[in-house]
Homo-oligomer: A and B are copies of this chain.
Amino acid sequence: MSDSGRAPRPRTNNPERTRRDILEVALREFATNGLSGARIDELAAQTRTSKRMIYYYFGSKEGLYLAVLEEAYRRIRADEGTLDLQHLPPLDALAALVRFTFDYENANADFIRVVMVENIHHGRHIKQSETIRQLNSTAINVLRDICERGVRSGVVRADVDPVDLHMSISALCFFNVSNRHTFGTIFGRDMAAPEELARRREVVVETILRWAAPGGALRDRC
């Protein structure tokens, strides 16, 4: 169908706002339909600007996708940075981080889905982005600090690898969003329902703490 006949767009004349508008819509579109599945036409129609502007600002569909990916990682790391975990006891800090991750990922399915999309594309774009690698390297520092403090006070096993810890946390939280549709359909669970989320979140916290702590350390918690 013709593109004409739609309500005329007000001209913004505000480059930064135009950029953000496009990015916002693009995140939704790529998250919903994937990289190949997303349609520039559809995307542009939801924007306050025109298709031409997408090319003006981002060069190509892939350029836009990369910008979306970077922005998505930037946001989660920024949010994570506000947690202030250093002042909590190690296991409390760990539990808080798990809860934050679980909640953030469930509240930001678009982020998860864009990461899935990137993996479907074999991480081709992330490999080119120095930005994203830098952003995420800090994530591990937080966990390393928790582990070190925990080992010193005897509440974390000495042989815990922070990257393993991060991987397990990510895996358990990520899955709840990433496989929501297949797993939910197969087992008849609504994995996005609030009560189910609250329940499952504590299972994840418990799983992580039990793994990180030595035999007797959790007597009061789990």
Contacts and interface: CB of A to CB of B under 8 A. Distances in A.
Interface in A48-106: 56-59, 63
Contacts of A185: 123, 126-127, 133
Nearest to A174: B175
Contacts of A168: 172, 203-204, 207
Contact of A163 (B117, B137, B182, B187): B187
Contacts of A3: 56
A31 B66 CA distance: 21
Contacts of A4: 15
B164 A57 contact: no
Contact of A181 (B35, B63, B126, B180): B126
Given A36-B36, A186-B136, A207-B211, A120 B120 contact: yes
Q: On chain A, which size bracket covers the interface?
A: 35 or more
A168 B184 CA distance: 14
Contacts of A126: 181-182, 185-186
A84 to B, nearest CB: 23
A158 interface: no
Where chain A touches its partner, the secondary structure class is: helix
A200 B170 CA distance: 14
Interface centre among A56, A120, A216 (most CB of B within 10 A): A120
A151 B62 CA distance: 53
A20 interface: no
A33 interface: yes
A155 to B, nearest CB: 15
Interface of A: 1-4, 15, 33-37, 56-59, 63, 113, 115-123, 126-127, 132-133, 136-137, 140, 163-164, 166-168, 170-172, 174-176, 178-187, 189, 200, 203-204, 206-207, 210-211, 215-216, 218-219
Q: Top 6 A-B pairs ranked by shortest CB distance?
A: A123-B181, A171-B175, A36-B36, A36-B37, A1-B59, A136-B186
